[in-house]
Structure 1
Amino acid sequence: MPGISSYGGNEKLKFNPTGYFRAEKTSNRWWLVDPEGNTFISVGLNHAEDVNLKHEHNIDIWKNKYGASREKWIKEGLVKDLKDWEFNTIGYTVDFVSGTWKALDWHSDDAKNVDLGHTAYKSWATADYLTADKPYCLQMRVLEIEDWNKFPGYRDVFHKDFADYCDFLARDLCVDHAESKNLLGYFLVDIPGWARHASGADFEYLKRLDDKERDIKLYDVASKYYETITNAIRKYDPNHLILGDRYNGNKAIPDAVLRAMKPYVDVLSVQYFPSNNPSGHQQMKEDLDRWQKVADKPVIIADIGNWCPTHMNPNRESECKDQAGRARDYIGAINAVINEPWFVGWHWCAHVENPGRGWGIKDPYDQSYEDFRGPVSEFNKNVYEKIMSYTTSGR
């Protein structure tokens, strides 16, 4: 496409190239910058996994359409979809494929959590990213303290064992990707339970403290956590962004944690699933703006999505009544934040609908929901034009 780089960056506004993705702040906004120096907004797709085509109802598609080949599925399935839908980034790849979605209700104080979770045992191999040849993000499960995790592991971040583990994790992952031109950077924990966890678990240092005392000590714990893992990453990979934890914007992000991450992390990454209406979109913008003011970082919405009743999941409760309604909500949600000076991208949930998650851009039979895909593709295609028009107007 004219004016669009091979990475999906905007060639009309350039910085000096460094050969790697980075973040830059101009007088009027933050940008990501691609390896060639072009401004870049990360329009990502999350939860792309071939396991979603291996159910009893669709395994014939996996075998016949893709020849039971992960390489063929990546090239002829996912990468084609990304191009057709005008997404430029492979986001968080693991998916939730078992259990019921209501079990993952972490939005309230009485949130449930489960011992099923995402398919964290499996993610993309280095060779898979080479096959895709698209910008991508990597995730590092530094601590098993996810809000959805029924048995979180609140390890002692001050102990040498934690530093040794971080060094191992970075050595195992970062060495293979340190020279990658397509890597944006490293996510850490998926919606970490920095606020009080629904299971009742907590760091040993924070147990039996009231909220005020806990907040003071929480800063010390979070600072040590971020210092330890980022030092380990930088030891093996000095080139790429540290995207930080994928915070749970629908629950709570303690200010103490945002202040602790500030010296170590390059991007504020927040998952946020707003209500499907203008007031919900406005609330998301206000929340992100408040957290950004504390962190003083560019912001990626690391997971955002919506849903509606479908043939496979007819009982989905949503203000979006159909796929066209989902598309309107997608556009409304992103329009609410796209011209904020801190906004540098969003990663959409999800690729293929499955019985566990229950929504996607494709139905369970690997066909796009066209009433959703059409308007969304057109919106994604014009992202830079919309941002540049607003930015150059001096607003």
Structure 2
Amino acid sequence: MEKVIHGKIIGITMILALFLGCIGGPQPNIEKTSPTSTLENSQVQPTSTTSQIREEIIKPKAKFPEGYSDFGGWKEIRLEPSGYFRVEVVDGKYWLVDPEGYVFLSKGVNAVNYLGDHSPKLGYAPYYVNVLRKYGDINLWINTTVSRMVEWGFNTVGAWSSPELYEYFPHTVLLDIAAKYGFNWEKGTMPDIFKDDFEEYVRKVVYFNVEPLKNNPMVIGFFTDNELRWGPDWRSSNHLLDDFMTLPSDAPGKKVAVEVLKDVFGGNISKLNMELKTNFTSFDELLNYTGKLPSTALFNEARKEFVRRYAERYFSVVTKAIREVDQNHLILGVRFAVSPFIRPPDEVFEVAGKYVDVICINLYNFPVAPKEYLDHIHEITGRPIMITEFSFRAMDSGLPNTKGAGITVETQKERAEYTRRFIESFIKLPYAVGYHWFKWSDQPKEGRWDGENSNYGLVNIEDEPYEEMVQMFTSLNRDLEKIHKEG
């Protein structure tokens, strides 16, 4: 999984990718429109006439194959053009819709970036060194990469990609709002977003990063963060309530935590004392309590209520700030981390469903898409789902594959078979609107900044494609829309 900690990857271009890339840049017959399309399912509505769209729209430089629109949409189904990406339902199936009105499944790759991963042990990024050695000129890498992406059937540049590619493909923008406010991805530390300055901070971040893009049709939408920790996961076994109860008495988040306990216990301090084995005379005295909380029914209820209020605070503030400056683009949420052992609380998904247009999930360690779980998430959110990270690794790559998420198989042939099976199982679901593969190039065998050393790439560290993988993607991506429609 791609976890960018600012400052860990060297080079001015990465700085541009993280900052300037978010504020600029970077995407003959008309088929019958399905009468069952429902505009209510999208927060982004058509705003322009077809003639205006054709005259004014900025289009990707990449040339997609016959049967696909200028934006990589599927020409078999066309709806009313809006000039921007949006969500629609056609005959019971969710789709993204490209700016020209063609239905669109996002077939993307994360970290399509010539810088690759910096290895602290080496003191440099081996993929970047090999790119310079192979091409001599980054523009040649860009041209080659664009050709490869199109040939292999991709239509989207995902998170952490080189901004030079934004003019060629539809793309997503990662805002890292909480990350810039204090969220530590590696440790899973969640910031106190109940502070008074959070709203103003979010408005400034959004204005700087979103406002300049509000009229850019190449942008599919905005990820507001990546893999926030909503509860116990690989980084910590704590619930957020337990973490926030350790804060000082004057911390706004501590006050909310105490309010939650007071509400859940019905204002009965004696009942709380009995379960906590304390002798407080009022709930105000809890502000100075930094000890552990028991796992009783009421305290577990409080844990759920606190994370619900945290999510409400986060998603409401972030969404309001974005919509104040941009009514055109999709809000893609926080790229929830999900595995067989990691499940964000339902309370968070329920809140997210009120504010985002698409539920985006980073899904690892499943041989096929977990239909029952994804059905549940769709049911409680009422939103389509995009898988924004997933991957499989193979030992014949020569990489250790000892650090990093995902199933490991023996050969590239098996890796391609697993990948095909996974994508097909997901894209058949009626609410699936795309996938983003993790990632473009392999990690260094010596490990990147956090030690990950896995065979995630479509190309190896020498920029050589894994033929079994790219042949599979080339074949599958050409059929993906048909599989979704008929699934």
The two structures have a TM-score, normalised by structure 2, of: 0.67
1:273 counterpart = 2:364? yes
Partner of 2:392: 306
1:315 shift after superposition = 5.3
C-alpha contact 2:173 2:222 (8 A) present in aligned 1? yes
Of 285, 294, 306, which residue of structure 1 is paired with 2:371? Answer: 285
CA distance in 1, matches of 2:86, 2:356: 12
Q: How many residue pairs are counted as aligned between the two chains?
A: 350
Superposition pairs for residues 179-328 of structure 1, below 5 Å? 179-196=215-232, 198-199=235-236, 200=238, 202-203=243-244, 204=253, 205-206=256-257, 210-250=299-339, 251-276=342-367, 281=368, 284-314=370-400, 318-328=407-417
Superposition pairs for residues 149-160 of structure 1, below 5 Å? 149-150=186-187, 152-155=189-192, 157-160=193-196
1:243 shift after superposition = 0.3
C-alpha contact 1:146 1:191 (8 A) present in aligned 2? no
Unpaired segments ≥5 residues, structure 2: 1-64, 119-123, 245-252, 258-289, 294-298
Partner of 1:137: 172
1:66 shift after superposition = 3.3
For 1:337-384, what per-residue CA distance to the aligned partner results, in whole angstroms no more than 9, with x for missing partners?
212111111100110112234221101100101022112211111112
Partner of 2:146: 79
Q: Secondary structure, in 3 states, of the residue corresponding to 1:378?
A: helix
CA distance in 2, matches of 1:367, 1:93: 20
Q: Secondary structure, in 3 states, of the residue corresponding to 1:347?
A: strand
Say if 1:57 and 1:242 are closer, same or farther in 2 by CA, change over 3 A: closer
Say if 1:65 and 1:176 are closer, same or farther in 2 by CA, change over 3 A: farther
What residue identity is the alignment partner of 2:458? I
RMSD between aligned alpha carbons? Answer: 2.4
Say if 1:289 and 1:386 are closer, same or farther in 2 by CA, change over 3 A: same
What residue identity is the alignment partner of 1:229? V
Of 91, 106, 115, which residue of structure 2 is paired with 1:51? Answer: 115
Partner of 1:101: none
Say if 1:217 and 1:319 are closer, same or farther in 2 by CA, change over 3 A: closer
C-alpha contact 2:424 2:483 (8 A) present in aligned 1? no
1:216 shift after superposition = 1.2
CA distance in 2, matches of 1:371, 1:147: 37
CA distance in 1, matches of 2:392, 2:169: 25
Say if 1:151 and 1:39 are closer, same or farther in 2 by CA, change over 3 A: closer
CA distance in 2, matches of 1:142, 1:315: 31
The two structures have a TM-score, normalised by structure 1, of: 0.82
Unpaired segments ≥5 residues, structure 1: 95-123, 391-395
C-alpha contact 2:364 2:390 (8 A) present in aligned 1? yes
C-alpha contact 1:146 1:190 (8 A) present in aligned 2? no
C-alpha contact 1:53 1:364 (8 A) present in aligned 2? no
1:312 shift after superposition = 4.0
Partner of 1:363: 460
C-alpha contact 1:53 1:61 (8 A) present in aligned 2? no
CA distance in 2, matches of 1:38, 1:236: 26
Q: Which runs of 4+ in 1 moved over 6 A?
A: none
Percent identity over paired residues: 26
CA distance in 1, matches of 2:392, 2:95: 26
C-alpha contact 2:115 2:127 (8 A) present in aligned 1? no
For 1:139-171, what per-residue CA distance to the aligned partner results, in whole angstroms no more than 9, with x for missing partners?
11121376842262422x233311111111111
C-alpha contact 1:53 1:62 (8 A) present in aligned 2? no
Say if 1:375 and 1:27 are closer, same or farther in 2 by CA, change over 3 A: closer
Q: Secondary structure, in 3 states, of the residue corresponding to 1:51?
A: coil
Partner of 1:33: 97
Say if 1:52 and 1:293 are closer, same or farther in 2 by CA, change over 3 A: same
Of 429, 437, 440, which residue of structure 2 is paired with 1:348? Answer: 437
CA distance in 1, matches of 2:231, 2:188: 16
CA distance in 2, matches of 1:28, 1:93: 33
